[in-house]
Copies of this chain bind each other. A is one copy, B any other.
Amino acid sequence: MTDRFETTIHDIARKLNISASTVSRALNNNPIISEATRQKIRQTAEEMGYRPNTLAASFRTKRTNTIGVIVPLINRHFFSSVISGIEEVAYKSGFTVTISQSNDQFEKEAKIAHTLFTNRVDGIIISIAMETRQFDHLKLFSAKNIPLVFFDRVVDEIDAHKIVADDFGGAYFVTKHLIEQGAKQIAHIGGPLNLKIYENRQAGYVKALEDAGIKLNHSMIINNTLRREEGTEAIQTLLKDNNTIDAVFCANDTTALSSIIYLKSIGKKIPEDILVMGFSNEPFSEVVTPSISTVQQPGFLMGQKAASLLIEQITNKSENHEFLTIVMPTDLIIRESSVRK
């Protein structure tokens, strides 16, 4: 009910018999204003219950102090870690963060991008949807010089800062570990190869086999979108085609889990009969039986880095066109599912 009456800088100015611009400057800590008047202004602003109209300010300055974040799913531990990292940095710099999820759908992603664009976010941070193979909705931003930072699932053909985990290295060491455990027939359940991260994970797997002198068998690789049921189907197919498989490297923990569940259901023992490893270290991986060996990505750090690079771009509209691709190290997490007893 105490509605309708918002005090403005003009109200404050009138009350103090000074000009609105002085009030504006004081409230924005413009050093040109004397300490005395600044104090006075801040105090009466407080007394009058003044709250700045960010809408008016944004409209005037063309800056919203808002960062848009688009992720496939906020529900995944990795993505929510990244978001937390982004939030931390953004808050400290006075930016608001708008989070949206594409549900891995191209349509939704494109719609979100347009909305953020129309809402004039100052910049966006994105990990693209599995379905996304076409990037006009993102080129919008480059076209208007709105900074864009990719993380995790990056797009080659757009110039921008990119933060990725060392997918290649992680996958390489996973495979190497499996080989060291005595595995000879290592299968791979991989993601869609239009996404660089899955391409890299697969490449790491291939390279490790190569380095160990193990011949690559293409029938031991299956690519899908790594959902739970797809993991079950994939492991079934793999076993049918190659019943000598003694290890499986899955490109995420979800398919590692469904593989384990299926393998257990047909009487295979893990790790005794087949070693299994995943990727991403989802929370469940630690607590299932057997616990799942996996690769930890530094999500929080990646988020922090992405946000600070973005904010730097927003703040210094520097014509510094050197775009970085930062590869963050991953950690191998060895648990029960990959250690031969």
Contact = CB atoms under 8 A, between A and B. Distances in A.
A58 interface: yes
What band does the interface of chain A fall in when counting residues whose beta carbon is under 8 Å from B?
Answer: 35 or more
Interface in A103-134: 111, 115, 117-120
A165 B87 CA distance: 29
A266 interface: no
Interface in A26-65: 51-56, 58-59, 62, 64
Contacts of A143: 2
Interface in A269-319: 283-284, 287-289
Contacts of A284: 283-284, 287-288
A13 interface: no
Contact of A74 (B83, B91, B289): B83
Contacts of A200: none
B87 A144 contact: no
A51 B117 contact: yes
Given A98-B99, A100-B97, A59 B55 contact: yes
A159 to B, nearest CB: 13
A115 B67 CA distance: 14
A261 interface: yes
A8 interface: no
A227 B281 CA distance: 19
Contacts of A119: 54-55, 96
A137 to B, nearest CB: 13
Given A3-B144, A87-B101, A120-B55, A96 B80 contact: no
B54 A56 contact: no
A225 interface: no
A265 interface: no
Contact of A98 (B75, B98, B144, B283): B98
A257 B91 CA distance: 34
Given A3-B144, A3-B145, A99-B99, 11 more contacts: A53-B120, A55-B120, A58-B59, A59-B59, A74-B75, A75-B75, A75-B77, A87-B101, A284-B288, A287-B288, A288-B288
16 contacts: A3-B144, A53-B59, A53-B120, A58-B59, A73-B80, A74-B74, A74-B75, A74-B99, A75-B75, A91-B111, A96-B98, A96-B119, A98-B99, A99-B99, A284-B287, A288-B288
Q: Top 8 nearest A-B pairs by Cβ distance?
A: A284-B284, A289-B289, A75-B80, A99-B99, A59-B59, A55-B59, A3-B145, A98-B98
